[in-house]
């Protein structure tokens, strides 16, 4: 949390899946906004977006169950229905009947999943470089990521994780000191996770069927880096536009899967503008 720039409080919420650690920021009487982070990471993903978002919203950022944060699973989340049940349990415990939901990467897959399974609990939906929900991940993603598991020493694992994250980021962005700091933190966190953590959420981010995506009636914004490396961004946008009514999509130049890290100012502005628009006008 050393990159976190705003005051926060922490809670632990117990459900049948275990204890979910969650950070709360922003005015207590502001509209709720839930943030779901990327795979094999933690709520620290939001360090560069939290200041802007928490000025106008009461932000709830959980460590996703089964990922290397502070949440403690009692049993694995095995399917998409259970993934949605986990989110509902958090909202019920916090007394939130409906909320905006923002998801990054695997968190985007989880946010989309929640809109499919519990659309009445979602006000507006924001997907930041969501993986898997619209188009398959590239074979290169699996080769690069899975190979790290088989390396014999911590030093080799870290070097391989650095290489994977360099592929994840749009390389010119690493010349920016702010992006480089987050890059280093993410490499540290993901390397330690690979060494000492075994995932407790085993829901693979595969594409949803057409009829599932048709269920998403919530106002939706999807932002993807124009240089996205995990999957084909143009195909993802095309499928989303064809199946989710009224979805707003944009490819952000000079960004890959690092979009909310390296282009946080642009992303925050677009999220806040989208959330402010009246749904009937949106």
- Given a cut of 50, is residue 67 above it in pLDDT? yes
CATH architecture of the domain with residue range 9-136+200-276 = 3-Layer(aba) Sandwich (3.40)
pLDDT cut 90: percent of the chain above it: 65
- Given a cut of 90, is residue 278 above it in pLDDT? no
Residues 197, 194: Cα–Cα separation, whole Å: 6
Residues 83, 216: Cα–Cα separation, whole Å: 17
Query: Which whole number is the average pLDDT over 243-255?
Result: 96
What are the sequence ranges of the domains in the chain?
9-136+200-276
pLDDT in the model for residue 174: 80
- Among 274, 268, 265, 235, smallest CA distance to 251 is for 235
Mind listing the pLDDT tens digit for each residue in 130-187?
999 999 999 999 988 888 888 888 899 889 888 998 998 888 888 888 888 888 888 8
- Render 62-112 in DSSP notation, one character per residue: E--TTSSSS-EESS-B-SHHHHHHHHHHHHHHHT-SSEEEEEETHHHHHHH
pLDDT cut 70: percent of the chain above it: 95
pLDDT in the model for residue 282: 38
- Given a cut of 80, is residue 279 above it in pLDDT? no
- Given a cut of 60, is residue 191 above it in pLDDT? yes
pLDDT in the model for residue 201: 63
91 pLDDT band, cuts 50/70/90, is: very high
b/e string for 140-165 if b means 16 or more Cβ within 10 A? ebeebbeebeeeeeeeebbebbeebb
Residues 78-81: contacts with CB under 8 Å, at least 24 apart? 78/202, 78/203, 79/203, 80/113, 80/116, 80/117, 80/203, 81/117
Residue bearing the bigger pLDDT, 182 or 236: 236
Are 88 and 95 in contact, with CB atoms under 8 Å apart? no
Tokens of 161: 């994780």
- Per-chain mean pLDDT for the chain: 91
């Amino acid at each position: 949390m050393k990159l976190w720039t705003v005051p926060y409080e922490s809670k632990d919420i117990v459900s049948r899946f275990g204890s979910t650690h969650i950070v709360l920021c922003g005015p207590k009487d502001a509209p709720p906004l839930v943030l779901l982070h990327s795979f094999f990471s933690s709520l620290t993903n939001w360090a560069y977006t939290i200041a802007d978002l928490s000025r106008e919203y009461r932000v709830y950022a959980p460590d996703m169950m089964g990922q290397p944060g502070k949440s403690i699973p009692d049993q694995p989340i095995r399917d998409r229905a259970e993934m949605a049940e986990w989110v509902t349990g958090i909202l019920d415990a916090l007394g939130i009947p409906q909320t905006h939901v923002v998801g990054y990467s695997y968190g985007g897959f989880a946010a989309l999943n929640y809109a499919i399974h519990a659309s009445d609990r979602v006000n507006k939906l924001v997907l930041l470089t969501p993986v898997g929900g619209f188009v398959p991940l590239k074979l290169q993603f699996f080769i690069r990521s899975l190979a790290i598991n088989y390396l014999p020493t911590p030093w080799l694992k870290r070097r391989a994780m650095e290489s994977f994250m360099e592929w994840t980021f749009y390389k010119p962005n690493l010349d920016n000191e702010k992006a480089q700091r987050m890059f280093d933190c993410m490499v540290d966190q993901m390397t330690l996770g690979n060494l000492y953590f075994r995932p407790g959420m085993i829901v693979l981010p595969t594409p949803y069927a057409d009829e599932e995506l048709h269920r998403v009636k919530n106002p939706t914004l999807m932002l993807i880096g124009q240089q996205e490396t995990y999957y084909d961004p143009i195909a993802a946008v095309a499928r989303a536009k064809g199946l989710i009514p009224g979805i707003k999509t944009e490819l952000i130049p000079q960004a890959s899967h690092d979009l909310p890290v390296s282009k946080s100012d642009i992303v925050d502005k677009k999220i806040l503008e989208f959330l402010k628009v009246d749904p009937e006008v949106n």
